[in-house]
Structure 1
Amino acid sequence: MFGSKHLYFKLAGAAAAVAMSVAALPALAVDITGAGATFPYAVYTKWAEAYKAASGNQVNYQGIGSSGGVKQIKAKTVDFAGTDAPVKESDLDAAHLVQFPTVMGGVTIVVNLPGVASGQLKLDGATAADIFRGTITKWNDPRIAKLNPGVKLPGTAITISHRSDGSGTTFVFTNYLAKQSADFKRDVGAGNTVNWPANAVGGKGNPGVAANVMKIPGAIGYVDIADAMKNKMTFVALKNKAGNYIVPNQDAVADAAAGANFHVRGMAPDLLDQSHKNAWPITSATYVLAYEQADATKQKAVVDFFKWSLNNGQKMAEELGFVALPPNVVKMVEAEMKNIK
């Protein structure tokens, strides 16, 4: 579809050559810039690479955290922003922004416990909340041991690895834990930034959290599935609403999103702690923010990039650990993008 602009034909005859040289000139490339959530960084950069090869247009995306992305688009310093924490309808209206999902994924709980295999350690929501609010501080705590008969748990101190930047991943994760525990909501909070306990260490972006977990024995943290898979990290099996212990995977994310109603303002249904028997409890979509009105050339470039990516980049997304939007939701996104002018 896009390759024809790069073809140059040799035709006999000077008049034909002149005529064809005009037709064959490549269209002026339009570069666009985005910034925000680190959760979708891998897929947006992969899409951008493939899109440039197909169209000649450059898309630059910086993973600076969801809060940073929202600030930048409100300051009009980027062409689009990425956020895992969906912006409220009233804020979209006030800032004249359009919001739509691009892919779905899961926030996973990962640990560094030598001798414990991935998926072997089981936690329920209430126990996870007590760990992340700092009231369970040793791995051999009776509350953890009760959920893990037969697992040799060390007396190692627990170190919590968390995001140091304003983060949509933190928003998703803490909102899940706040649903499980009123004490967590009171003591730590729920949002892009929260009040972590004293036994916590911060890292920038999902890669920073992953790095801290991998280097600190006894550490526990939260990262997206893609970063956890890439780093071959040790997953926790988490008890879902149906009472089943689930290891995070793409099928479990898809099951959590099955039947979700994206036909709401901002296209942001709550996908946390869904009732499907195989649902991963900490499932979320990630979102793009764009202007309703801005430079027409840039606006068209934003729409063209994401329309191309949603229709041609789903396999790339799945290879990176994300879950593609269902075809009916892609059509809804395309309809929503008509508001970007």
Structure 2
Amino acid sequence: MKKNSLWFSGIKTVQTAVATTGILLLTAVGTAQAQKLTGAGSTFDNPIFTKWFSEYSAAHPGVEINYQSIGSGGGIKQVTAGLVDFGATDGPMTDEQLAASKIKLIHIPAVLGAVVPIFNVPGVNDLKFAPDVLADIFLGKISNWDDARIAKDNPGAKLPNLSISVVHRAEGSGTTFIFSDYLSKVSKDWENGPGRGSALNWPKGIGGKGNDGVAGYIRQLPGSIGYVELIYALQNHIAYGEVRNAAGHWVKASIAGVTAAAASVKQMPADYRVSITNAPGADAYPISSFSWLLIPTQGQDAAKRKVLKDFLNWMLIGGEKEVSSLYYAPLPDSLIAREHQTVDNLK
């Protein structure tokens, strides 16, 4: 009896040890998988990022991705200073910015999107904007909504005798880069004046914080005009205009129009930095752009890097299938295949 008692006691001890070891192993695995990533930058991307980061975290218990939608300029500053694990921008970093960064970075295209001219003109829901007219409105050369040049392209619109109030971004912004990159291509006066960049010396207007800040001003201010990423116009029920493209066709922003603009890129640069504003093609929407994640190639611990690489591959496989629901255009399949190689090569 005593022998059996000792035998059962031994078994119990072994079982307890195994159970304890199992718990420790599970805890260790959970701890290894638990990672918190931080990012900052583009408000252009924030709607799709909110969806992606939430879904990825839900499918990967212990992983948390926190993103600050502070504008592309702020995102570049934070990621180049090593304050966040990744950045996001709608305007590619310049050679000078990349050289000055204390962190070596690569650009990973995330989505394609459109910037649209939004307006609040009482009694008017549809407008067409010729490229030179759009530039001169933001330059302050066209200051009233019943100006003859606007009326010429909109013969059916009842344009009021109302001053134009320009609204632009207050902070460094990739959306501003896209818009000013386009205006620099279609207007010499713009190119030789404010030029292209994420932060400009604006000839006139008031600044709104983020795409949502600009949209908020437009909703509240009759006679105003501004520019935002397409989804912000749709979500806020703000009218946005058609723009005449390089082929001479009037085009309203759409997924198909952005896709057509992206198709103009015949040879993607090795570093993925490319402009597709004012792209050729009958159906191309002219104020289209890629948006990029800025990924460090050094300085991160192995566990954090593993999670970041896994997220990027998840984004390219599953995340891209969801972008159209938020009015972004998906990346071309050929580009996705190439990006997978880039991500896999991250050490």
Same fold, judged at TM 0.5 (above): yes
Show the counterpart of 1:204.
209
Q: How much has 1:187 moved relative to structure 2?
A: 2.7
Show the counterpart of 1:54.
59
Look up the SS of the partner of 2:177 in the other structure.
helix
Show the counterpart of 2:121.
113
Cα contact 2:117–2:240 (8 A) shared by 1: yes
* Distance change (3 Å), C-alpha of 1:277 and 1:205: same
Look up the SS of the partner of 2:51 in the other structure.
helix
Look up the SS of the partner of 2:286 in the other structure.
coil
Cα contact 1:262–1:269 (8 A) shared by 2: no
* Distance change (3 Å), C-alpha of 1:262 and 1:54: farther
Separation in 2, partners of 1:232, 1:205: 17
* Distance change (3 Å), C-alpha of 1:263 and 1:244: closer
What letter is aligned with 2:37?
A: I
Show the counterpart of 2:83.
77
Q: How much has 1:63 moved relative to structure 2?
A: 0.8
Separation in 2, partners of 1:244, 1:280: 9
Q: How much has 1:78 moved relative to structure 2?
A: 0.4
Give CA deviations for 1:97-130 in whole Å, capped at 9, x if unaligned.
111110000111110012222xx21111011000
Show the counterpart of 1:311.
317
Separation in 2, partners of 1:14, 1:259: 66
Cα contact 1:79–1:299 (8 A) shared by 2: no
- Single out whichever of 295-304 and 155-164 deviates more from structure 2: 295-304
Cα contact 1:112–1:218 (8 A) shared by 2: yes
The answer on 1:128 being equivalent to 2:131 is no
User: What aligned pairs does 1:16-95 form with structure 2 within 5 A after superposition?
Assistant: 21=23, 24-25=26-27, 26-28=29-31, 29-56=34-61, 57-89=63-95, 91-92=97-98, 95=101
Cα contact 2:312–2:343 (8 A) shared by 1: no
What letter is aligned with 1:153?
A: L
Separation in 1, partners of 2:200, 2:246: 25
User: What aligned pairs does 1:123-202 form with structure 2 within 5 A after superposition?
Assistant: 123-198=129-204, 200-202=205-207
Q: How much has 1:16 moved relative to structure 2?
A: 7.5
Separation in 2, partners of 1:289, 1:314: 17
Give CA deviations for 1:50-79 in whole Å, capped at 9, x if unaligned.
001100211011011111111111111000
Separation in 1, partners of 2:290, 2:304: 25
Between the two proteins, the alignment pairs up a number of residues equal to: 326
Q: How much has 1:23 moved relative to structure 2?
A: 6.1
The answer on 1:328 being equivalent to 2:326 is no
Where do 5+ consecutive residues of structure 2 fail to align?
1-14
Where do 5+ consecutive residues of structure 1 fail to align?
1-12
1:302 pairs, out of 295, 301, 308, with 308
Show the counterpart of 2:250.
245
Show the counterpart of 1:97.
105
Look up the SS of the partner of 1:128 in the other structure.
helix
The answer on 1:288 being equivalent to 2:293 is yes
Q: How much has 1:197 moved relative to structure 2?
A: 2.3
Separation in 2, partners of 1:324, 1:14: 53
* Distance change (3 Å), C-alpha of 1:163 and 1:244: same
- Single out whichever of 22-31 and 246-255 deviates more from structure 2: 22-31
What letter is aligned with 2:88?
A: G
Q: TM-score w.r.t. structure 2 length?
A: 0.89
Look up the SS of the partner of 2:212 in the other structure.
helix
Cα contact 1:92–1:98 (8 A) shared by 2: no
Separation in 1, partners of 2:166, 2:346: 41
Q: How much has 1:232 moved relative to structure 2?
A: 1.6
Question: Quick check: which has more Rg, 1 or 2?
Answer: 2
Cα contact 2:176–2:197 (8 A) shared by 1: yes
- Single out whichever of 76-85 and 298-307 deviates more from structure 2: 298-307
Question: Equivalent pairs: percent with the same residue?
Answer: 39
Q: How much has 1:287 moved relative to structure 2?
A: 0.6
Q: How much has 1:24 moved relative to structure 2?
A: 5.0
Cα contact 1:108–1:248 (8 A) shared by 2: yes
Look up the SS of the partner of 1:323 in the other structure.
coil
Separation in 2, partners of 1:258, 1:201: 35
Separation in 2, partners of 1:339, 1:133: 45
What letter is aligned with 1:40?
A: D
What letter is aligned with 2:146?
A: N
Q: How much has 1:246 moved relative to structure 2?
A: 0.7
Look up the SS of the partner of 2:277 in the other structure.
coil
Cα contact 1:87–1:266 (8 A) shared by 2: no
Give CA deviations for 1:148-204 in whole Å, capped at 9, x if unaligned.
112110011100110000011101101101111111222322211112223x11000
